Amino acid sequence: MGALLLLATFLAPSASIANADADIAVEMPAVKVISPLWKSVFNSSEVLLSFEVTRPQSWAEVFPGYTGGVLYYSVGVIKSVRYSLDGKVSENVTVEDNAYALTIGPSSRVFDFSFNLTGLFDGPHNVTVNVFGSYKGEAFNFSGSPIIFFVDTAPLELEGLSPESRMYSITDISLTVASSEPVSWIGYSLDEGDRVTIAENATLKELPAGSHNLTVFANDTIGNFASSETITFTVAETEPTAPFPLAPVVTASVASIATIGVALLLYFKKHRH
């Protein structure tokens, strides 16, 4: 019989794969990735890859011909493991697994592995564990589920914030902010109120006179959170506008007309005589 190739993209401890040649179900070893966790974020370019591979208990069968008690031996063996990081495959690591060791009762076996992933760039990465071995003399290999994680060595910073810490003589003030990297959400809190989401720069409208404080918040594209320093600024009191002096103007106009009328009357009287 040719080598049996068993492939799986994800296998939980209880999962199995059918052996088409022998028409039986073969339980595959379980892979548990301890680090990195799914969608975890690291602030370092070096990440520890740690995982366990468990040889199934179902691989243990009764040792034939032994009359002194019930002894078991494993009919499958894990020979090596490797991992794939962003599509680049590592070297195989040999596993010391004695398939013929006798045990009293069926038993599983757990193998621990750890590798340092170094020189990682900022951004998303994916890592997959591959296991190689044989079951009843037939070769197999399979891959665990890919784990996606992120590296972010540069923290999100908010800069270029306006309004500034000064007094304003207007009540509508522009809110502007710049970030050190792309953001997925941005908002602000005025005078310790609820956070208000904004899509871009905004305007703080009809602010009452007095002191105000403003804090801006943001999330980058992988979920890192940042907040600005709290800015304190003041809106000045507006002086009331004095009404136009209509009454004095009207009085002056009437007085002027009366003066002109008296002058014309004297003029006509003088010329009649």
Are residues 110 and 21 part of one domain? yes
Show the domain range for 52: 16-151
Is 262 within the bounds of a domain?
no
pLDDT single digits (tens) 146-192: 999 999 998 889 988 999 999 999 999 999 999 998 899 999 999 99
Is 246 within the bounds of a domain?
no
Are residues 121 and 81 part of one domain? yes
CA distance 139 to 203: 67
Number of domains in the chain: 2
Is 247 within the bounds of a domain?
no
Are residues 27 and 115 part of one domain? yes
Contact in structure between 217 and 225 (CB atoms under 8 Å): yes
Residue with tokens 């003066």, as numbered in its chain: 259
Are residues 227 and 120 part of one domain? no
Is 8 within the bounds of a domain?
no
User: pTM above 0.85?
Assistant: no
Percent of the chain scored above 70 by pLDDT? 77
SS3 197: strand
pLDDT single digits (tens) 78-88: 999 999 999 99
pLDDT, mean of residues 67-71: 73
Is 86 within the bounds of a domain?
yes
Is 131 within the bounds of a domain?
yes
Residues 6+ apart with CB under 8 A from 28: 6, 8, 11, 15, 16, 17, 56, 131, 140, 142
Q: Mean of the per-residue pLDDT values for the chain?
A: 82
Are residues 122 and 92 part of one domain? yes
Are residues 76 and 32 part of one domain? yes
Is 9 within the bounds of a domain?
no
Are residues 220 and 170 part of one domain? yes
Cβ neighbourhood burial of 139 (10 Å; 0-12, 13-18, 19+): middle
Are residues 144 and 106 part of one domain? yes
Are residues 24 and 146 part of one domain? yes
CATH number for 166: 2.60.40.10
